[in-house]
């Protein structure tokens, strides 16, 4: 069977298993719209440079529009014999408009075609992801603004360290997401160049206008080198690198949400609609959404490694290996979009429980550093102050008393320079208030940081 689009030099039909094994249409049909966009731009350029007549272009355009509708409505018949999205569409075009359809592939190869399609597909995926990421950031900042003076314990080593504002903690999440957004945009701008015109690998003998197709498809410019154009998949790897970091951040946020919803922390409540129950334990309300997002990092990291390994040692230019780029990339896009959507919906619905948060901060001697700093202001060297406060904490542990609950007399027993003014620094509020500089947790700083963070979003 030499009915294949490339069948001219073949004398026997493709083995039916090989046909299925080498086909990509099951997954690359996802790029059908981009493939049609690329073909429309290519055809119109071919007409501008005199390779197609105006009538031929009109007929190709009409055929491609019809195919787009067939695909959108689900009427299109995809065929594994036609291997991939590109040849399925081209074959249908010829079926619809006759011999003119066969002229579309003039000066083009599937190699530059697929390189173009993936970039177009990923570019719109990036824009959708940027939208969800922005929505999550806005929700996070708005929640932070409501909690500029809600006290929680800050942790190091997951041991109570110093009190911070809950809003300050949420703004730390936002900073991670802000960097992710920057990485996403870096990836987009490096990727946004048109490989169309590289043809199979060496360019083409036709007088094509690469700038025209690049502009028509919204690319910043054409790529520089034809060999590189058809074999570069850096952009997919960069995107997966972005995704791995973003998902790592979401997993850290997830872990905190899981901890905070536990009875032992009891810092927040997640609305029922983001949780599920247990089929055996009637009391259970499980934070499935953050748990699942935490778990999905595994496949995302896997996809990054898949793509790096796929590209390693490939000689120039195009190799069939590259067909393997799509499934990891598409699953990364889907997973990132779903995870961001879940988080963007869920974060604004977090209900803080200020009382247990406060109580936890109080219980952990979180103002011990403040007492040491107080003694330093009274003239003690910091190391000596540290020692004095350590003794006071040991006493508090033994007597189940917070530093702020000890009498002045008791405190003076640890150091005679301690005066009545000590109680201002021992309160949780005083501790927050005292860290009043750029990046610190004082409520006024947190509010100002929220304003700046929202202003950054408004500039996007
Ligand atoms: N389905 C192929 C891919 O995904 C399209 C390019 C194939 N080119 C070729 N010469 N076999 O990479």
Secondary structure class of 115 (helix, strand, coil):
helix
Residues 255 and 137 in one domain: yes
Is the residue at 241 inside a domain? yes
Q: Nearest 10 degrees: CA dihedral of 301, 302, 304, 308?
A: 140
Q: Is 61 contained in some domain?
A: yes
Q: How far from each other are the two terminal CA atoms of the chain, in whole angstroms?
A: 55
37 and 119 inside one domain: no
Instruction: For residue 10, tell me if it sits in a domain.
Output: no
User: Which of 84, 90, 119, 202 to mutate to test ligand 1, by most ligand atoms within 8 A of the CB atom?
Assistant: 84
Measured by CA distance, the residue closest to atom 11 of ligand 1 is 320
Strand partners, 194: 222
115 shares its domain with 141 = yes
- The Cβ of residue 205 has, within 10 Å, a number of other Cβ atoms equal to 8
Closest ligand 1 atom to residue 28 Cα is 4
Distance in angstroms (rounded) separating the CA atoms of residues 57 and 48: 10
Distance CA 339, CA 318 (A): 33
Residues 33 and 126 in one domain: no
Q: How far is CA 299 from the centre of its chain?
A: 14
320 CA distance to ligand 1 centroid (A)? 6
Kind of pairing, strands 351-352 and 268-269? antiparallel
Q: Which atom of ligand 1 is nearest to the CA of 84?
A: 1
Cα dihedral 367/371/377/382 (nearest 10): -100
Q: How many CB atoms lie within 10 A of CB 410?
A: 16
Rounded Cα distance, 398 and 392, in Å: 10
Residue 51 pLDDT = 98
Biggest alpha carbon–alpha carbon distance for the chain = 101
For residues 290 and 352, membership in a common domain is answered with: yes
CB 222 within 8 A of CB 203: no
Instruction: Report the catalytic residues.
Output: 157, 278
The pLDDT, as a whole number, for residue 4 is 87
97 in any annotated domain: yes
Q: What is the DSSP letter of 437?
A: S
Give the per-residue pLDDT at 2. Answer: 59
Instruction: Report pLDDT for 146.
Output: 98
Closest by CA position to 395, among listed 408, 406, 382: 406
- Whether the pTM exceeds 0.90: the reply is yes
Q: How far is ligand 1, taken at its centre, from the CA of residue 4, in Å?
A: 14
**Which residues approach ligand 1 with their CB closer than 6 A?**
24, 28, 84, 110-111, 114, 320, 322-323
CATH at residue 81: 1.10.275.10
With the most atoms of ligand 1 within 8 angstroms of its CB, the residue from 24, 34, 109, 230 to mutate is 24
Statement to judge: residues 238 and 140 lie in one domain: yes
CA 188–ligand 1 middle distance (angstroms): 23
Tracing tokens 């011999």 back to the chain, one arrives at 99
Last residue within a domain, chosen from 329, 358, 387: 358
Query: How remote is the CA of residue 114 from the centroid of ligand 1, in Å?
Result: 7
Residue 79 sits in the same domain as residue 145: no
DSSP structural state of residue 1: -
Query: Cα separation of 196 and 330, whole Å?
Result: 22
Can you tell me which residue has the tokens 């490096």? 190
- Residues in the chain predicted with pLDDT less than 50, given as ranges, are none
Expressed as residue numbers, the domain containing 378 is 364-458
Q: Which of 82, 106, 130 is the last residue of a domain?
A: 106
Q: How many domains does the chain have?
A: 3
Q: Which atom of ligand 1 is nearest to the CA of 24?
A: 1
List own/partner pairs for 124-131 with CB under 8 A and 24 or more apart.
124/34, 125/333, 125/337, 126/184, 126/187, 126/188, 126/239, 127/188, 128/337, 129/184, 129/333, 129/336, 129/337, 129/340, 130/181, 130/184, 130/185, 130/460
**Residue whose structure tokens are 């889907």:** 334
Is the same domain home to 58 and 116?
Answer: no
CA dihedral (279, 282, 285, 288) in degrees, to 10, reads -10
Helices and strands of the chain, counted as H and E runs? 19, 6
| Nearest protein CA to atom 3 of ligand 1, as residue | 323
Q: What is the CATH number of the domain that holds 403?
A: 1.10.40.30
CA of 273 to the centre of ligand 1 (A): 44
């Amino acid at each position: 069977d030499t009915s294949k689009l490339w069948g001219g030099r073949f004398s026997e039909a493709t083995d039916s298993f090989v046909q299925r094994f080498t086909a990509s249409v099951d997954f690359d049909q996802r790029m059908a719209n981009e493939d049609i966009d690329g073909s429309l731009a290519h055809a119109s350029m071919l007409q501008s440079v005199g390779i197609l007549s105006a009538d031929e272009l009109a007929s190709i355009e009409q055929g491609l529009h019809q195919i787009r509708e067939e695909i959108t409505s689900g009427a299109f018949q995809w065929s594994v014999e036609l291997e991939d999205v590109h040849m399925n569409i081209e074959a249908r075009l010829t079926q619809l408009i006759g011999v003119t359809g066969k002229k579309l592939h003039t000066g083009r190869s599937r190699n530059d075609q697929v390189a173009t399609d993936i970039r177009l597909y990923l570019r719109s995926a990036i824009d959708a992801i940027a939208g969800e990421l922005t929505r999550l950031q806005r929700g996070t900042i708005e929640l932070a603004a409501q909690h500029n003076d809600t006290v929680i314990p800050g942790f190091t080593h997951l041991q109570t360290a110093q009190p911070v504002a809950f809003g300050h903690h949420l703004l730390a999440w936002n900073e991670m997401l802000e960097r992710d957004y920057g990485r996403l945009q870096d990836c987009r701008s490096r990727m946004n160049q048109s490989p169309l015109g590289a043809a199979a690998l060496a360019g083409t003998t036709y007088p094509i206008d690469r700038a025209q197709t690049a502009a028509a498809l919204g690319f910043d410019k054409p790529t520089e080198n034809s060999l590189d154009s058809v074999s570069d998949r850096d952009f997919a790897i960069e995107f997966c690198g972005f995704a791995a970091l973003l998902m790592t951040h979401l997993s850290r946020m997830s872990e905190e949400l899981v901890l905070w919803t536990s009875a032992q922390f009891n810092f927040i409540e997640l609305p029922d609609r983001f949780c599920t129950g247990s089929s055996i334990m009637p009391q259970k309300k499980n934070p499935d959404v953050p748990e699942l997002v935490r778990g999905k990092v595994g496949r995302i990291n896997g996809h990054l490694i898949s793509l790096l390994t796929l590209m390693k040692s490939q000689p120039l230019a195009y190799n069939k290996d590259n067909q393997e780029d799509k499934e990891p990339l598409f699953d990364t896009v889907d997973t990132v979009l779903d995870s961001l959507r879940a988080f963007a919906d869920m974060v604004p619905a977090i209900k803080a429980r200020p009382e247990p948060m406060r109580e936890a901060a109080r219980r952990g001697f979180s103002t011990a550093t403040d007492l040491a700093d107080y003694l330093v202001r009274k003239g003690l060297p910091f190391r000596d102050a540290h020692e004095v406060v350590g003794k006071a904490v040991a006493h508090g542990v033994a007597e189940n008393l917070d530093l702020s609950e000890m009498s002045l007399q008791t405190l003076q027993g640890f150091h005679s320079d301690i005066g009545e003014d000590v109680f201002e620094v021992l309160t949780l509020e005083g501790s927050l208030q005292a860290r009043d500089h750029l990046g610190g947790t004082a409520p006024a700083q947190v509010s100002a940081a929220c304003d700046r963070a929202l202003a950054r979003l408004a500039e996007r």
